[in-house]
Amino acid sequence: MSHPPARPTRRADAEQNVAKILDAAVACLSRDAGASVSDIARAAGVGRVTLYGHFPSREALVEAALTRALAEGEAVLGNLDLTGDPRDALEALITSSWLLVAQWTAVLEAAQEALPSGRVQELHAKPAQRVDDLIRRGQAEGAFRADLPAEWLTSVLHHVIHGAAIDVAKGRLDGADAARFIAKTILAAYAEPGS
């Protein structure tokens, strides 16, 4: 046997390890935002040295876990039909976004603690763009107020959804009420004044 055939196997092993580590990272961090690298290595069934070979720090691992969670979220949000009445589309987008944020609250919390300030919002560029596009269309069609910039309205939705997730985590808000409260609040906040 010559050497070359061994490489794909080693690469396949490495890819399998990365997948196991990421699955374990998302699962562990979803249960406990403070999960350690050792906890995650144990759950993945790999050694710490192997884990550090792929993710040189807890920060790198948390960022990869958030990126994975956001990619799963994109698969859901990307399938929504947002072409109808902007108000209905916004309500559908809020309902789906809330389910994702609620599912990944602890991963997000871990990321907010472990990543440099601003990085979490950078990684949210795609979902933020989707909201921004919908708001601009709604403004153009007269469904949403145009006296405030779309960037600000997008930002308000981000703050209210993520704030609600913290409220639920702290026991200040019933998770079953959250999507309805958020939608009612945001639709009113976005309405053309006097409409």
In the set 126, 172, 176, 179, which binds a second copy (CB under 8 A)? 172
Q: How many residues bind a second copy (CB under 8 A)?
A: 33
Residue 1 DSSP symbol: -
- 176 near a second copy, judged by CB under 8 A: no
Name residues whose C-beta falls within 8 Å of residue 39's C-beta, 6 or more positions apart in sequence. 28, 32
Alpha-carbon gap, residue 119 to 150, rounded angstroms: 21
* Binding span for a second copy by CB under 8 A among 4-12, 24-32, 73-81, 166-174: 166-174
CB of 35 to a second copy, least distance (A): 15
- 88 near a second copy, judged by CB under 8 A: no
In the set 117, 131, 139, 143, which binds a second copy (CB under 8 A)? 117
In the set 58, 103, 160, 175, which binds a second copy (CB under 8 A)? 160
Q: Which amino acid is at 130?
A: R
40, 62 contact by CB (below 8 A) = no
CB atoms under 10 Å from CB of 83, counted, come to 9
CB of 19 to a second copy, least distance (A): 30
26, 107 contact by CB (below 8 A) = yes
Q: Closer to a second copy at the Cβ: 1 or 188?
A: 188
In the set 5, 8, 84, 118, which binds a second copy (CB under 8 A)? 118
Alpha-carbon gap, residue 168 to 73, rounded angstroms: 20
In the set 121, 124, 146, 175, which binds a second copy (CB under 8 A)? 121
Alpha-carbon gap, residue 178 to 87, rounded angstroms: 18
- For CA atoms 100, 101, 105, 109, the dihedral sign is positive
Q: State which of positions 122-151 bind a second copy (CB under 8 A).
A: 145, 147-148, 151
CB of 49 to a second copy, least distance (A): 30
Query: Which secondary-structure segment (H or E) carries 49?
Result: helix 48-54
Binding site for a second copy (CB under 8 A): 109, 113, 117-118, 121, 145, 147-148, 151-153, 155-156, 158-160, 162-164, 167, 170, 172-173, 177, 181, 184-186, 188-191, 193
